[in-house]
Structure 1
Amino acid sequence: MAAISSLSFTALGQVSGRKRLVSSARPFSSTFDGFRFRKKIFSVSIGTKTQNLNSRMAIIQCMSSVTEVPTVCETKSNFLKAYKRPIPSIYNTVLQELIVQQHLMRYKRTYQYDAVFALGFVTVYDKLMEGYPNDEDREAIFRAYIQALKEDPEQYRNDAQKLEDWARTQSASLLIEFASREGEVEGILKDVSERAGDSGSFSYSRFFAIGLFRLLELANATEPTVLEKLCAALNINKRSIDRDLDVYRNLLSKLVQAKELLKEYVDREKKKREERADQRANEAITKCIGEFQYAGQ
């Protein structure tokens, strides 16, 4: 056993010595090249894994950004789920068009809520829903609409009221000189001016244009020169404002005509129902009289 052990260790030592000799005889450059080659393989392997990981992360981020933004169909579906009662077609048709437009505004990369935008939407909504049969339903529809866009209906109403109250105390010159004054609404307008002046950080919309014009209306300052100066102070393109205000006026005109037609239709149908009811009542009375006379014979 001792001999075997001795032989084994001796042989192992000889083999080890030969290995060391061969190893020491190998050129240094060859050893370095081998290391460099292994390092290269290692780097490629790590790089590939990193690249794959980055690719997976990019895909995940892309999917995340897509899933965070609801589709137009989802927004409309949320609205219909929140308000399940039927809406007369004259109102519903315009509401469905508005919610599609506002969805596209809401989920633009540069979108940022502001009170002027809120005032514009509230103005359009209230004009659209004038004459709606039920006041409670009208407000419930408003809440469902804003919540479908994942925003706060109370904030819309409160901010719109705040700006309306402020505008009633202003004049043309005070409106234009908002930048030199202090106050909550003045601060809102300054923020709009700063963002509009910084290319890419302000998302102009039709509702903003209507909100701006509503301020001028309440301040009794609707002269074109006042609008031009206010647009300049806000860094807003006046031509865009003019274009969108024309669209708004045309919309209101069509709504008035449609509501007049609806009223005529309702009155006509009401008159027909009354005539049919009178006819049925007369027929019932005639029948009763006939039966009474027959029974008396």
Structure 2
Amino acid sequence: MEILSHLISCSVDKVRTVSDSKRNFHTYHTRPINSVYRRVVEELLVELHLLSVNADFRYDPIYAVGVITSFERFMQGYRPEQDKPSIFSGICRSVGADPEQYRRDAESLIAAAKGLSLENFLTQSDSNNQIVSTLNAIANSGQFKYSRLFAIGLYTLLVEAEPSITQDKEKRDQVLTKIAEILHLPNEKMQKDLDVYRGNLDKMDQLLTVIEDALEAERKKRQQKEQEKQQA
């Protein structure tokens, strides 16, 4: 019994905590995070951490598309721009993931989506397409851990294949419902997650507009002061 208790204790001790992942992140990215984006970085880091320690979670390239898309969309306008690769790398490496694999897989699937019809998305008839083969593997896995980031990746690929779907809510919902049935996903939760995602993107766009307007006003103010100095 003592040996069993020791083994259980050791196993528990090895599970990485959120605090561990956060500390890891700051060893990989040592520069301060722009305050406007601090919450974005922390929430993505925590989300990746919780999935990485979930026994049912399995990495797949559609999930990678969701991670990349979330990071790029919500980090738009980040300054200094050159810090973004280091931040993304730090988020991935802090939870034991490979940022280069995420980027390779995401780029490969997005390229595959451009040549995939919506019909193939639904019927999964083109087995040579990487997206279709990935969806088939998920549908036949028998046990798949759904995540919000997977839903975002799936939605991103749908938009790449059929851009007009963003303008037709009824069609979009029908397509997502069909895919949820095929892959045995929680349709209601997926639809809700994507509604929140699109809403947050709109809020982020509005925030970026406000920031840009404020920066422009500040530039004009500095120019005016400089002109006044020269005239004086």
TM-score of Structure 1 vs Structure 2, range by shorter chain = 0.7 to 0.9
Q: Percent identity?
A: 32
Output one character per residue of 1:132-187: Cα deviation in whole Å (capped at 9) or x when no partner.
Answer: 23443212211111111110001100111111111111111111122673444333
Gaps of 5+ in 2: 166-170
* SS of equivalent residue, structure 1 residue 119: helix
Which residue of structure 1 lines up, in the alignment, with residue 9 of structure 2? Answer: 63
Which residue of structure 2 lines up, in the alignment, with residue 111 of structure 1? Answer: 57
Which residue of structure 2 lines up, in the alignment, with residue 99 of structure 1? Answer: 45
Which deviates more from structure 2 when the two are superposed, residues 119-128 or residues 96-105?
Answer: 96-105
Which residue of structure 2 lines up, in the alignment, with residue 147 of structure 1? Answer: 93
- Cα distance between partner residues in 2 of 1:102 and 1:179: 32
Please give the TM-score of this superposition, normalised by the length of structure 1. 0.70
2:162 pairs with 1:220: yes
Question: Residue type matched to 2:152 in 1?
Answer: I
- Which gives a bigger RCO, structure 1 or 2 (Cα 8 Å, sep 6+)? 2
Q: Please tell me whether the aligned partners of residues 109 and 130 of structure 2 are also in contact (alpha carbons under 8 angstroms).
A: no
Output one character per residue of 1:34-56: Cα deviation in whole Å (capped at 9) or x when no partner.
Answer: xxxxxxxxxxxxxxxxxxxxx22
- Cα distance between partner residues in 1 of 2:11 and 2:226: 60
Question: Residue type matched to 1:185 in 2?
Answer: I
Which residue of structure 1 lines up, in the alignment, with residue 151 of structure 2? Answer: 209
Which deviates more from structure 2 when the two are superposed, residues 266-275 or residues 72-81?
Answer: 266-275
* SS of equivalent residue, structure 1 residue 70: coil
Aligned-residue CA RMSD (Å): 2.0
Question: Residue type matched to 1:237 in 2?
Answer: P
Please give the TM-score of this superposition, normalised by the length of structure 2. 0.88
- Cα distance between partner residues in 2 of 1:120 and 1:148: 18
Question: Residue type matched to 1:161 in 2?
Answer: E
More helix by share: 1
Question: Residue type matched to 1:123 in 2?
Answer: T
Per the alignment, do residues 94 and 180 of structure 1 end up closer, same or farther by CA in structure 2, a change over 3 Å counting?
closer
Q: Please tell me whether the aligned partners of residues 167 and 219 of structure 1 are also in contact (alpha carbons under 8 angstroms).
A: yes
Gaps of 5+ in 1: 1-54, 287-297
Which residue of structure 2 lines up, in the alignment, with residue 245 of structure 1? Answer: 194
Aligned length: 225
Question: Residue type matched to 2:2 in 1?
Answer: R
Q: Please tell me whether the aligned partners of residues 120 and 132 of structure 2 are also in contact (alpha carbons under 8 angstroms).
A: no
* SS of equivalent residue, structure 1 residue 170: coil
* SS of equivalent residue, structure 1 residue 225: helix
Larger radius of gyration: 1
Which residue of structure 2 lines up, in the alignment, with residue 85 of structure 1? Answer: 31
Q: Deviation above 6 Å: which 4+ runs of structure 1?
A: none
Q: Please tell me whether the aligned partners of residues 122 and 156 of structure 1 are also in contact (alpha carbons under 8 angstroms).
A: yes
Question: Residue type matched to 1:205 in 2?
Answer: S
Which residue of structure 2 lines up, in the alignment, with residue 267 of structure 1? Answer: 216
Q: Please tell me whether the aligned partners of residues 65 and 102 of structure 2 are also in contact (alpha carbons under 8 angstroms).
A: yes
Q: How does 1:3-42 map to 2 (within 5 A)?
A: none
- Cα distance between partner residues in 1 of 2:13 and 2:55: 15
Q: Please tell me whether the aligned partners of residues 90 and 258 of structure 1 are also in contact (alpha carbons under 8 angstroms).
A: no
- Cα distance between partner residues in 1 of 2:33 and 2:212: 16
Output one character per residue of 1:249-277: Cα deviation in whole Å (capped at 9) or x when no partner.
Answer: 11111111211222122223333333444
- Cα distance between partner residues in 1 of 2:5 and 2:229: 71
